[in-house]
Amino acid sequence: MTQPGANAVAEQPTDYLHTGWTRRVAGYVAILILVNVMVDSVLASPTFVLPELSDAFDTDQFAWIGSSAMLAGAMWAPLLGKSADINGKRKVLMVTLLVACAGGLVCLVAPNLGVFVLGRVLQGAAVAALFLTVALIRDICAPKFAMVVTGIVTCGSAVFGIATPFILEFALDAFGWRVVFVISAAFAALATLFVRLVLPETRNTQPGRVDVKGALVLGGGLAGTLVYISLGQVFGWLGAVPLLVLVAGVAALTVWFLVLSRAREPVIDIRGISLSLGLGLLVVVLGTGAYQSMLQLFSLLIEVSPDDGLGYGIAAPAALGLLFGIPSIGIMLGGVLAGAFATRMGPARTLAAGVVTGAAATLIMFVVGAQDLPFAVVSSFMLSLTAGTLLTSGFNLASILAPPERQGTVSSMVMVMVAIGSVTMNFIGSAILGANRITIDGETVNSSTGVHTYIAIAGAVFLVATIPTAFLVRSMRGHVVTGVPVSHI
């Protein structure tokens, strides 16, 4: 692996890059935030209508609906990232938005479950829109200013999360579950129009070709492996179909690693990943997985009253708003602060701050937060800060380690790590709860042992993440963050 040296020569930003806020830059940022609001509508909004979807398609296997688009996004990411570096980030972003729009329309008119799943796979392209917005920032802003803008763009959409439950509740009562997909398709179409009319053409591209076969094999391998992790608990880990999916996924990844990754222009050049970037990706997969699993736990805790005597439970009239409304502010705050502080201390240190904050939040939950709402709110807010900090810092780290013409490819790798961490840790948490369930008065419930073990595992993952974080901070010491990097990744 090639390690970028601390004394690497940095070029000055070219004249067309913005170095501060102007009316034009504010317009660009507003459009990119709109794109990410669309991403949020694809990933989160369907979870509000799970019972209605279950009735509509006569199935009870919708526990994974929230992660299905993320799984598809992991499959799309390598292909779209490489395509963006060759054909232009704005152009590929527009294609991505149109595919997501088409996916929303397919879900809207789906007559059966099979067609609906196809629509969700198409909607998964929206996940790629997130990292493409980050890659576009590097084409618009000088590197130091880009760190601040990245924090605002990646986490600014969280503000809309405060009002989303209330708006959706009214819309669902008036129009039914299909309105969720009308909204996501409309957001995608509107974002496409604004991207086309306002955002500038991509200047940083590289000649080459897209290894479509390699991208499909890699994406299929990632998707197959993550689908097994996500659905194995539902359909049985040793069932014929889950095992077949796992074997196919592992086989695809093996073929890609041994054969297709050695092609002249692989979709991801893993052998060229630097030590610093590799450490950063490891921190992202561990940190995002840990905080995602903790956020999943909150939805279970608010269903149980502390008066039930189970040793956990934070049900209260205001619990839902406090635990899922306030964190939206924390995500944005974490992203903005991470972007601002990265200009002074570098993204490696802000990444470390996110990991430490997440570890402290899980400690609070383990000691008192699982059955005390005020402490749970504090922990939830700290975890939301962690979420914004890790996402922004991960993208910022990738941006300073990759040359401008490879921003799409490297940013897609960060998104793949987010997907892997989220799905894997959510599975581990669910498996821990399932293995420790108890029966009280004929009703099966989660045990206190299961809940606290769940929290302890998440905390342990944060602690493990501090190890590569420490090496990352050391490897990035003295690295120039204000100029365009020239080192290979």
Q: What is the arithmetic mean of pLDDT over 269-278?
A: 85
* Number of domains forming the structure of the chain: 2
Structural domain of residue 387, as residue ranges? 23-210+267-475
The whole-number pLDDT of residue 282 equals 95
483 lies in some domain: no
Return the bridge partners of 437, or none: 446
Confidence label for 316 from pLDDT (cuts 50, 70 and 90) = confident
Q: What is the pLDDT of residue 66?
A: 58
pLDDT band at 15 (very low <50, low <70, confident <90, very high): low
- State the average pLDDT over residues 214-238: 80
Domain assignment of residue 10, yes or no: no
321, 435: one domain: yes
* Radius of gyration, CA atoms only, the chain: 22
Q: Residue 62: pLDDT band by 50, 70, 90 thresholds? A: low
Q: How far apart are CA 29 and CA 34, in angstroms?
A: 9
The answer to whether residues 237 and 201 belong to one domain is no
Is 13 or 107 the better-scoring residue by pLDDT?
107
Q: Are residues 231 and 156 in the same domain?
A: no
The per-residue pLDDT for range 455-468, each reduced to its tens digit, is 999 999 999 999 99
What's the token pair of residue 191? 């974002």
487 in any annotated domain: no
Confidence of residue 4 (pLDDT cuts 50, 70, 90): very low
Comparing 90-99, 190-199, 316-325, 436-445, the range with the smallest average pLDDT is 316-325
Residue 485: pLDDT band (50, 70, 90) is very low
**Between residues 372 and 295, which one has the greater pLDDT?**
372
In whole angstroms, what is the distance from residue 318 CA to residue 379 CA?
16
Residues 162, 61 share a domain: yes
Side chain identity at 324, as an amino acid letter? Answer: F
Mark whether 365 and 289 lie in a shared domain: yes
Residues 367 and 470 in one domain: yes
Least confident of 79-88, 246-255, 453-462: 79-88
**93-147 pLDDT, tens digit each:** 999 999 999 999 999 998 888 888 889 889 888 887 888 999 899 889 988 899 9
Higher pLDDT pick, 225 / 348: 348
Do both 68 and 206 map to the same domain? yes
Amino acid identity, position 484: V
Phi, psi of 156 (to 5 degrees): -65, -30
- Whether 17 maps to a domain, the answer reads no
Q: Is residue 6 part of a domain?
A: no
Q: Which is more confident, 404 or 249?
A: 249
Lowest mean pLDDT among 336-340, 412-416, 439-443: 439-443
Confirm whether 18 is domain-assigned.
Answer: no
Residues 345 and 256 in one domain: no
291 and 254 inside one domain: no
Q: Are the C-beta atoms of 482 and 10 separated by less than 8 Å?
A: yes
Q: And the tokens for 256?
A: 């890609």
What secondary structure letter does DSSP report for 440? E
Domain end marker among 266, 293, 309: 266
The average confidence (pLDDT) of the chain is 84
Regarding whether 249 and 119 lie in a shared domain, the answer is: no
Confidence grade of residue 489 (pLDDT, cut at 50, 70, 90): very low
Task: Indicate the SS3 state at residue 303.
Answer: coil
Residue of 245 and 203 predicted with greater confidence: 245
* Residue 65 pLDDT level (bands cut at 50, 70, 90): low
Give the pLDDT band of residue 165 (cuts 50, 70, 90).
low
Same domain for 351 and 433?
yes
Over 90: is that where the pLDDT of 434 sits?
no
Residues 350 and 147 sit within 8 Å (Cβ to Cβ): no
162 lies in some domain: yes
**For residue 218, is pLDDT > 70?**
yes
Residue 236 has pLDDT above 80, yes or no: no
Which residues neighbour 321 within 8 Å (Cβ) at sequence distance 6 or greater? none
Residues contacting residue 380 through CB under 8 Å, at least 6 positions apart = 295, 298, 322, 323, 326, 327, 330, 361
User: Which of 170 and 268 is assigned the larger pLDDT?
Assistant: 268
Structure-block tokens of residue 199 = 């955002």
User: pLDDT exceeding 90 applies to what percent of the chain?
Assistant: 33
The confidence band for 340, taking pLDDT boundaries of 50, 70 and 90, is very high
Helices first, then strands: H and E counts in the chain? 18, 2
Q: In this model, does residue 385 exceed pLDDT 90?
A: yes
Lookup result for tokens 């995608």: 188
For residues 248 and 129, state if they share a domain: no
> Across residues 203-226, what is the average pLDDT?
84
Please, which pLDDT band fits residue 1 given cuts at 50, 70 and 90? very low
247, 266, 285 — which closes off a domain?
266
Quick check: helix, strand or coil at residue 485?
coil
Residue where a domain terminates, one of 266, 284, 304:
266
In a domain, 482, yes or no: no
**Looking at residue 34, which CATH number applies to its domain?**
1.20.1250.20
Q: Which range is least confidently modeled, 48-57, 202-211, 297-306, 347-356?
A: 48-57
